[in-house]
A and B are shown apart, each in its own frame.
Chain A
Amino acid sequence: MPLLECSTLSRSFGGLRALSDFGLEVGSGEVVGIIGPNGAGKTTLFNLISGADRADSGRVRFRGEDVSGYGLDRRARLGLVRTFQDGRCFANLGVEDNVLLGAHGRRLASRPRSARWAIELAQALLPLAAFRDEERRLRSEAATLIESFGERLAPRSGEKAYRLSYANRRRLEIARALAARPELLLLDEPTAGMNPSETLELLEYLRGLKSRGQAMLVIEHKLPLVMKLSDRIVAMDEGEKIAEGEAEDIVRDARVIEAYLGKVHSQSGAPAREGPHGAGPA
């Protein structure tokens, strides 16, 4: 049974079909890269998988459970955790608090469903050892996660998130998502806004995660990174899957080359490409 199974997902905005009849599978411990030009529908796909948006039609199954009707928070509690393209940290909260919040779903999972709100209140008012121990354990886990990013993040553990650099916010967001111990980590352009050396560092970090069996679905523009990280790559264009396979096959695929290079041509003023997908965007 695959970890994640999407079938015939479609989503339109007004008259624009952002995604049509899209299917995708991710297995346990697998790393799948998603590539495609701007407007190919990658982020729409992410929103549908994570529950930030609902599909017009199609199904999302996670660990065998149909999660199509679940919201973002419920899917996250099942282990489907995402990051955002624009690095959405809690700006006025400290770095440590940000990471601690990632463990929210696990805190809840350890409690009886019907008494969760009462326990939340009790935790604030009663000085019970169990609560203190839980908080201490989560804090030490958060510290380990922050330290896993080494000199970049560790010295800033006490700062508010808005004081972090852009690249550090991306790291913090990943640390926060990892605090949830996700079954499947969805990364939306994790290296956007990073310079080449920072990108390389993050690649090594993600490969480390992969070697420990972390399943990931990664949207990324930087082809070399996706190729080095992914077990399998899915190429998208105009809301459809145009190719799927291992890295070497994907970069040789005629439609992928066309989707990427066709765009380059039209941007540089050369005649728009022709072919089954029509003219490229101006």
Chain B
Amino acid sequence: MGASLQLWAGQVLNGLVLGNVYALLAAGLALVFGVARLVNFAHGSVYMAGSFAGWFLVSRLGWPLWAALPGAAFVGVALGLLIERLAVRPYRRSGGIAPLLATLGAGMMLDSLAEILFSPNPRSFPAVLPSTRYSLGPVSIGPLDLLILGVSALSAIALFAFLKFSRAGRGLRAAAQDFEAAQQMGVRVERVGAAAFAIASGLGALAGALIGMYYNFISPSSGFEAGLKGFTACVLGGLGSVPAAMAGGLALGLGESLGVALLGSSFRSLISFGLLLAVLFLKPEGLFGKRGGGLERGAAVGTFLPLRGAFKPPRSLAIFLAIAALALPLVAPGPYLLQILTGAWISALFALSLSFVAGGAGVMSLGHAGLMAIGAYASGLLTLKAGWPFLPAFLASGLVAALLGSLLAFPALKLKGHYIAIAMLGLGEIVNQVILNWDALTQGAMGLAGIPAPRILGLAITSARGFYYLCLIVLLGGGAVLAAFLRSPLGRTLRALREDELAAASLGIGPRSYKSLAFAIGAFFAGLAGSLTAHLYTYISHETFGSRDSILGLTMVILGGLGNLWGAVLGALALTALPELLRFAAQGRGLVFGIILLLVLRFRPQGLLGSE
């Protein structure tokens, strides 16, 4: 009894400590959302940068803790100002979802930069505090716990005092209430926006440094999950209110710790993302937020990006390109080019599917790689464990992805604007977390090895040429089917939904059923792409199809032109085959892709081939 009480009290303390850090993370997101009506998808990457800044200052420069923590926060402030200036302010007038995508690009650049500077490998944070524990009744508390509790409480008090009493804080609150009115009353809103980013990023970086010390672990790829935890805390409390978001952070920390005590630590992420989706679906205004009276929630509804000048190649050119691609293996010098293009065709199929969902129906599917994972596992498990032949397993992988994907997404599809983007991001992550934790089915962290080569009509496909043809033919078929959908009355209905959901509903178009249908169609082809990947690589794991692939797919689609199927293929070729052929270093790619995304959004938002 005593031991179990101690255990639970310890978990509550853990939860409080974590919760305080999540609160810092969430406060920054809420602050930015309040002022700029923008979900800052680069926030997690600033957190990651903060953890590296803290580590660098302590272990490389030998700074004492009292200097290193403010130092990390300062790095965050600088990054926040930079992000605001380069990835937010220029996109203010673009409207729609462009600013959100721009912060995604900025985050991708930061992550990649950290990999270049510090290598992609995780590092341990040197112990800077003694590991003594003090007993307080049933609770044993260490100096690090006290430090985190103290620093986060102090930061929260400082933040509230700043917002409440300072002139700049008053401007911030005014801009959060009504941006234009504040502007007219002489508040310098651009400065206010920059200040919000600076403060938010300072807090985020501080949170990163504290968590790095707490877990004794930092990694360049930690930003995505941290960002998602921050969104979870925000949504839990209520998006747009700093105190509510901080309360949400505490609730998340406690919920996570108690959940881990019950289920085990590998469930940590699953618990928090499950919580995220549960709140989004059941009570999107948050536990402490008020139900909005408006008809539309969130700012980013309707067309994301300007649609103009879609380039449609004439039939003759299309046929010529298809024949050229089919004839290429006959003249290709060796397997290398074919292998690269095979990967590009799979990426292109994935991009087509995403372009159809995001461009055709206006559903911002930010976790699209999760659908690929479902397809890959379906195909892998059916051939490995159930002994199915390739072709039925291949088709089943598409169907399973369509069914599971649309079932998972169905509750999210009633959400709007930023909420749907966050929910979709969470969905992609949840798929991988379920794969990781469902040992009995998926072999958990071990992954699936030895997936057999495809066998069609008794012929095993093992050569580079064979895979090239398989993937190209699936791509051509998928492209033809999706193009037919876009041309049909269904495509018209989906475009109407994308343009104006309320007006579409007023004509009898059920928004959720049609979005689900579009999502299922997209998921089918993403599932096929996953299956091809599984049989090509013969090994898959919960890390094969991650958030990076989702964002990379999105970059391809936007580069080529949202909703433009030819554009999706072009984008995939440009971002997968081209860097390989130019032998561009793998580590720097995120940086280049981020820059491409920002430049395209800024100077050619309709993409290279135009969007429709």
A binding-site residues for B, Cβ under 8 Å:
13-14, 47, 50, 52-53, 71-74, 76-77, 81-84, 88-93, 97, 100-102, 104-105, 107-108, 117, 120-121, 123-125, 135, 176-177, 180
Residue of A nearest to B563 (CB): A92
Cβ of B517 under 8 Å from chain A: yes
With a CB–CB cut-off of 8 A, which chain A residues contact B496? 90, 93, 101
- Contact across chains for A123 and B488 when beta carbons are under 8 A apart: yes
CB of B309, distance to nearest CB on chain A (Å): 12
Proximity bits, B469-493, A CB within 8 Å = 1, else 0: 0000000000001001101111111
Cβ of B505 under 8 Å from chain A: yes
Given A76-B508, A101-B504, answer yes or no on A120-B489 (Cβ-Cβ < 8 Å). yes
With a CB–CB cut-off of 8 A, which chain A residues contact B295? 47, 52-53
- Contact across chains for B507 and A101 when beta carbons are under 8 A apart: yes
Residue of A nearest to B303 (CB): A92
Partner of A91, one of B293, B499, B521: B499
Residue of B nearest to A93 (CB): B495
With a CB–CB cut-off of 8 A, which chain A residues contact B450? none
CB of B305, distance to nearest CB on chain A (Å): 11
- Contact across chains for B509 and A73 when beta carbons are under 8 A apart: yes
CB of B357, distance to nearest CB on chain A (Å): 15
With a CB–CB cut-off of 8 A, which chain B residues contact A90? 495-496, 499-500, 503-504
Partner of B510, one of A73, A82, A93, A180: A73
Partner of B509, one of A13, A92, A104: A104
- Contact across chains for B307 and A92 when beta carbons are under 8 A apart: yes
Alpha-carbon distance A270/B391, docked complex (angstroms): 82
- Contact across chains for B307 and A124 when beta carbons are under 8 A apart: no
Residue of A nearest to B492 (CB): A97
With a CB–CB cut-off of 8 A, which chain A residues contact B487? 124
- Contact across chains for A107 and B489 when beta carbons are under 8 A apart: yes
Cβ of B50 under 8 Å from chain A: no
With a CB–CB cut-off of 8 A, which chain B residues contact A97? 492, 495
Main secondary structure of the interface of A (DSSP, over half): helix
Cβ of B513 under 8 Å from chain A: yes
With a CB–CB cut-off of 8 A, which chain B residues contact A107? 489
CB of A225, distance to nearest CB on chain B (Å): 23
Proximity bits, B560-594, A CB within 8 Å = 1, else 0: 00000000000000000000000000000000000
With a CB–CB cut-off of 8 A, which chain B residues contact A52? 295, 502, 505-506
Partner of A84, one of B293, B489, B503, B510: B503
Given A81-B506, A105-B507, answer yes or no on A117-B499 (Cβ-Cβ < 8 Å). no
Interface residues in B348-388 by Cβ distance below 8 A to A read: none
- Contact across chains for A84 and B506 when beta carbons are under 8 A apart: yes
- Contact across chains for B481 and A89 when beta carbons are under 8 A apart: no
Cβ of B28 under 8 Å from chain A: no
Given A53-B295, A101-B507, answer yes or no on A93-B492 (Cβ-Cβ < 8 Å). yes
Given A88-B502, A88-B503, answer yes or no on A100-B492 (Cβ-Cβ < 8 Å). yes
7 A-B residue pairings within 8 Å (CB atoms): A52-B295, A92-B499, A93-B495, A100-B492, A124-B484, A125-B481, A177-B507
Cβ of B44 under 8 Å from chain A: no
Cβ of B522 under 8 Å from chain A: no
Partner of B484, one of A91, A104, A125: A125
With a CB–CB cut-off of 8 A, which chain A residues contact B491? 124
Cβ of B511 under 8 Å from chain A: yes
Partner of B505, one of A71, A83, A91: A71
With a CB–CB cut-off of 8 A, which chain A residues contact B484? 124-125
Given A90-B496, A93-B495, A124-B485, answer yes or no on A102-B502 (Cβ-Cβ < 8 Å). no
Alpha-carbon distance A88/B507, docked complex (angstroms): 12
Partner of A117, one of B293, B504, B506, B517: B517
CB of B174, distance to nearest CB on chain A (Å): 20
- Contact across chains for A117 and B505 when beta carbons are under 8 A apart: no
With a CB–CB cut-off of 8 A, which chain A residues contact B490? 120-121, 123-124
With a CB–CB cut-off of 8 A, which chain B residues contact A53? 295
Alpha-carbon distance A93/B307, docked complex (angstroms): 10
Partner of A101, one of B493, B502, B517, B521: B493
- Contact across chains for B507 and A176 when beta carbons are under 8 A apart: yes
With a CB–CB cut-off of 8 A, which chain A residues contact B502? 52, 72, 84, 88
Residue of B nearest to A162 (CB): B307
With a CB–CB cut-off of 8 A, which chain B residues contact A93? 492, 495-496, 499
Alpha-carbon distance A180/B499, docked complex (angstroms): 19
Given A52-B502, A120-B517, answer yes or no on A135-B489 (Cβ-Cβ < 8 Å). yes
> What 10 pairs across the A-B complex have the smallest Cβ distances?
A105-B508, A124-B488, A76-B508, A88-B503, A72-B505, A77-B508, A90-B499, A73-B505, A13-B293, A73-B510
With a CB–CB cut-off of 8 A, which chain B residues contact A84? 502-503, 506
CB of B601, distance to nearest CB on chain A (Å): 18
With a CB–CB cut-off of 8 A, which chain A residues contact B500? 88, 90-91
Partner of B507, one of A71, A81, A92, A117: A81
- Contact across chains for B503 and A76 when beta carbons are under 8 A apart: no
Given A76-B508, A93-B496, answer yes or no on A14-B503 (Cβ-Cβ < 8 Å). no
